[in-house]
Amino acid sequence: MKTYKIATIPGDGIGKEVVPAGQQVLEAVGAGSGLRFEFQNFDWGGDYFREHGVMMPDDGLDALREHDAILFGSAGDPHIPDHVTLWGLRLKICQGFDQYANVRPTRILPGIDAPLKRCGPDDLNWVIVRENSEGEYSGVGGRVHQGHPIEAATDVSMMTRAGVERIMRFAFRLAQSRPRKLLTVITKSNAQRHAMVMWDEIAVQISREFPDVTWDKELVDASTARMINRPASLDTIVATNLHADILSDLAAALAGSLGIAPTGNIDPERRYPSMFEPIHGSAFDIMGQGLANPVGTFWSVVMLLEHLGENEAAGRVMQAIEKVTADTSLHTRDLGGTATTADVTRAVCALVSGGVQRKAA
């Protein structure tokens, strides 16, 4: 029996609810597919910070390194500054393991009433590739004269030629693997006249390696309008760390809810474990109530299984997700329904292991 070692890091807020649900789905699909998952849970996050003064231990990356993949929840605690939780946990792992490609698929799942009128599933089927290691989130910058009238602060958007070339090549290759072979390169090189101009030049350079990919360029502000007015004109999208962060939350909302959208923080060279997570955060307003939509985590489980090469198991989980979203009695509150995290989890687990279970009346 094939065995995979999976690290789970629920983190904070609803991460503590959706990651155990994702683990249940992995266990259920494993039982039906002859796969065994060995889970190791890491209790890092806000509670760990209160006890130890750090979000994760210094040798945390070493503990994760031996795993085949990581399933992550959220970093963000109501009583700790967001930059402390983000940099102390999620970014530490993404940057420590050079997970430079952040892949964010979006499409309208069956049964979901997406806010874009006149827009069906065929009109919105995107994958956003987010540069995940540098750019606006490079961590370069600082504050001087803190608290004084002459205070100054910078966050430098640092881009390297090697960093841009590798994400551009990854995006072109991904576009090439999809039926439409279509890539849109998001830019802001009218205003940001150094790094973004290099970004544009590298897009032209890498495009020559992919003559069968049709590509175009769009300014990031205009691209938000295009996502709403001409969604079918987009397929694969590549953007900087900040631009793609924002565009992918918009994409998720256009497809129905932030609670549905998955992501993979991928090391394409497979030197380190890749990390899969829903794109949403801790959702302070609903945490601890069992109301979180676990679909974003389940779709992340699909991406995790695909990354391991377990395409049959991945397909079974995706089919189960689509059956469940098609049934409005299994919609959570973010989708206008009354189902709980546990209802949806039970239904998906039953489907991936063979049976069908509806929400109890």
In the complex, what is the shortest distance from the CB of residue 82 to ligand NAD, in angstroms, rounded to a whole number?
Answer: 4
DSSP-assigned beta bridge partners for residue 146:
none
Helix/strand/coil for 71: strand
Q: Which stretch binds Mn ion (CB under 5 A): 21-29, 118-126, 167-175, 245-253?
A: 245-253
- 245 lies in the site for Mn ion, by CB under 5 A: yes
**Among residues 163 and 281, whose Cβ is nearest to ligand NAD?**
281
**Among residues 131 and 334, whose Cβ is nearest to ligand NAD?**
334
**Among residues 86 and 164, whose Cβ is nearest to ligand NAD?**
86
**Among residues 233 and 284, whose Cβ is nearest to ligand NAD?**
284
- 74 lies in the site for ligand NAD, by CB under 6 A: yes
**Among residues 58 and 285, whose Cβ is nearest to ligand NAD?**
285
- 74 lies in the site for K ion, by CB under 5 A: yes
CA distance 319 to 324: 9
- 17 lies in the site for K ion, by CB under 5 A: no
The encoded tokens of residue 147 equal 């608290």
- Exposed (0-12), middle (13-18) or buried (19+): which is 109, by Cβ within 10 Å? buried
Distance from CA of residue 65 to its chain's centroid?
20
Q: Would you give the end-to-end CA distance of the chain in angstroms? A: 39
The correct pick among 4, 202, 296, 324 for binding ligand NAD (CB under 6 A) is 296
Neighbours of 118 (CB within 10 A): 6
| Runs of H (alpha helix) within the chain | 15-33, 46-52, 60-65, 82-85, 91-96, 161-177, 195-207, 220-229, 241-254, 295-307, 311-326, 341-352
CA distance 217 to 182: 11
Helix/strand/coil for 186: strand
**Among residues 72 and 100, whose Cβ is nearest to K ion?**
72
245 binds, among K ion, Mn ion, ligand NAD, none (CB under 5 to 8 A by kind): Mn ion
282 binds, among K ion, ligand NAD, Mn ion, none (CB under 5 to 8 A by kind): ligand NAD
- 75 lies in the site for ligand NAD, by CB under 6 A: yes
In the complex, what is the shortest distance from the CB of residue 259 to ligand NAD, in angstroms, rounded to a whole number?
Answer: 3
The correct pick among 104, 280, 331, 359 for binding ligand NAD (CB under 6 A) is 280
Give 15's DSSP letter. Answer: H
Residue sitting closest to K ion (CB): 277
Size of the site for Mn ion (CB under 5 A): 1
Neighbours of 272 (CB within 10 A): 18
**Among residues 74 and 187, whose Cβ is nearest to K ion?**
74
The DSSP string of 135-174 is EEEEEEEEEESTTSTT-EEEEEEE--HHHHHHHHHHHHHH
**Among residues 54 and 182, whose Cβ is nearest to ligand NAD?**
54
Q: Build a one-symbol-per-residue string for 256-275: x at contacts with ligand NAD by CB under 6 A, - elsewhere.
A: --xx----------------
Size of the site for ligand NAD (CB under 6 A): 22
Give 12's DSSP letter. Answer: S
Residues in contact with K ion by CB under 5 A are 74, 277
Residues in contact with ligand NAD by CB under 6 A are 14, 74-76, 82, 86, 90, 258-259, 277, 280-286, 292-293, 296, 332, 334
